Structure 1
């Protein structure tokens, strides 16, 4: 039976290096592998060939480092980031209610019924909603998150992120998961006040400003290979704000599962090794609670089997 392991990026005050994690120990892959990969992305670029070597190292590696002595960075520096919106049924219903115009005559019950029908139709027509994020928004799983001065409604969005292990172009949902190397945790922060353009409603959403400030995507702590995630559609996501649970949901509530999302993105573009496909956030965001992020807030995010990230908010 294979020894469970994960991948990450670490440093000791010098250049970051890719590491293999087994419990509380880390093997420096830049030294342990004969081809000396400098980054986790380099490992993913030859994922099929690297896997047997990683399994062997998990059992027999020497010169282990103490995990507690290392700084943990985001596990992967992706080339591309694809983000799924409106993919958890209850979350979308809550957002529809929260974003109703002030002069809207629709009752909350009517708004929820309309949103539920919209989600059912999207599922029937197989139309996920995906947009592009910027790799420059990624930060480490324990780094401070700077809240920009221009953002008045910063919000949290805990998400399961699929990490691509081999190129995928026009793959079917049935074959899509064969292109996924593993999974990690993402907290896809959003400037709620900037999601919709106020200057011209017809333009629609402004994901550049709403999603991509530096540090708005804490990632990790680790990339857990798919072989150690038996069912990505049966994972529990929990986000706590200052110790209080705000999001607590199963990936079962997704409208479009991981395979359908990966397949959908691949119909338009080519997914590359290391690319991230964020799968949407469940109900329980700050907008729902009427409590947005503030200076000093601490977010703790956990997904079954993927570890925990802990980030503190700091006002710019």
Structure 2
């Protein structure tokens, strides 16, 4: 496993009137602006749009102390994080994609256990998030919407697309992935279903109210290159609300793996560099226990080999 570099976007705390997003790369313990380190690709999306070449150039730069010394580096503590890529064409989120989470939700709804969808020929189940209004960065504050009393957390690993991707096979799908990041798939559980809709009808589910409110998709802290993670299907996953451990699982419990999700989506439409595919959440969400987020709560997610993503509810 290498630890070559991490891609992030930030604003500078040391310049309070400078709110422009800055594409950056974290390497050798310092943050370097992409405009300095890789002038032809000054934003993270620029890097992803030429991922085949830029990943090699950045990996080489991380090993070249003489070149790095020419650039101004800064510590992570001096930056305000934004979502790593601003703003993707699409955020595609997988639901019911962990065996332990599926079991806990079936129990919460008094439903019979679900079979493995592979056994019955059922494809992945996904929904779409908007990007500009839902995405916030690491350490962001998120306002709980006035309309919900049941705000829930969902730890998720996400892949970031690095090549235009259309009708790819599962065998080839990971070749189109640039790297990994973390999202907190915040959910308004009291708006999963429209209260007066006929149960089981196509009009029953309310994806806008439940999943697409402002700040509902904290993302970050950065993008870890795909090749830096040797076994992405065996990552330790943990989420705390304040000091209480709520989710404690592993990506080994994923039902449809990264390649299956990317391939499936690519059969429906084109995926573009920067697009995010979130892979679902494991057991430990609040709804089955009747525990929901309150103002002042801090949610901390730790994903092995990727990093930590924190969010404060206000």
TM-score calculated relative to the size of structure 2: 0.91
Aligned to 1:288: 288
TM-score calculated relative to the size of structure 1: 0.91
The 5 A counterparts of 1:78-93 are: 78-93=88-103
Q: Which residue of 157, 160, 163 maps to 1:160? A: 157
Aligned to 1:44: 48
Aligned to 1:194: 191
Distance 1:162 1:3, change over 3 A: closer
Q: Which residue of 129, 136, 139 maps to 1:133? A: 129
Aligned to 1:227: 227
CA distance in 2 between partners of 1:306 and 1:2 (Å): 12
Query: What is the deviation of 1:121?
Result: 4.0
Distance 1:2 1:93, change over 3 A: closer
Kept in 2, the 8 Å contact 1:301–1:309? The answer is yes
The 5 A counterparts of 1:120-269 are: 120-135=116-131, 136-201=133-198, 202=201, 203-269=203-269
Instruction: Please tell me the root mean square deviation across aligned C-alpha atoms, in Å.
Output: 1.5
Unaligned runs of 5+ in 2: none
Larger mean CA deviation between 58-67 and 168-177 belongs to 58-67
CA distance in 2 between partners of 1:245 and 1:39 (Å): 35
> How many equivalent residue pairs?
299
Q: What are the superposed Cα offsets for residues 107-126 of structure 1, whole Å, 9 maximum, x if unpaired?
A: xxxx4xx22xx232455414
CA distance in 1 between partners of 2:215 and 2:38 (Å): 31
Q: What are the superposed Cα offsets for residues 189-234 of structure 1, whole Å, 9 maximum, x if unpaired?
A: 0000111122213113211110011111110001000010112111
Q: What are the superposed Cα offsets for residues 109-158 of structure 1, whole Å, 9 maximum, x if unpaired?
A: xx4xx22xx23245541411011111020101100111000011100000
Query: What is the deviation of 1:186?
Result: 0.3
Query: What is the deviation of 1:240?
Result: 0.4
SS at match of 1:43: helix
4+ residue runs over 6 A deviation: none
Does residue 75 (structure 1) correspond to residue 84 (structure 2)? The answer is: yes
Kept in 2, the 8 Å contact 1:163–1:273? The answer is yes
CA distance in 2 between partners of 1:173 and 1:52 (Å): 25
Q: What are the superposed Cα offsets for residues 162-181 of structure 1, whole Å, 9 maximum, x if unpaired?
A: 00000111111110000000
CA distance in 2 between partners of 1:199 and 1:23 (Å): 56
Kept in 1, the 8 Å contact 2:83–2:137? The answer is yes
Aligned to 2:60: 56
Kept in 2, the 8 Å contact 1:160–1:185? The answer is yes
Query: What is the deviation of 1:288?
Result: 2.3
SS at match of 2:287: helix
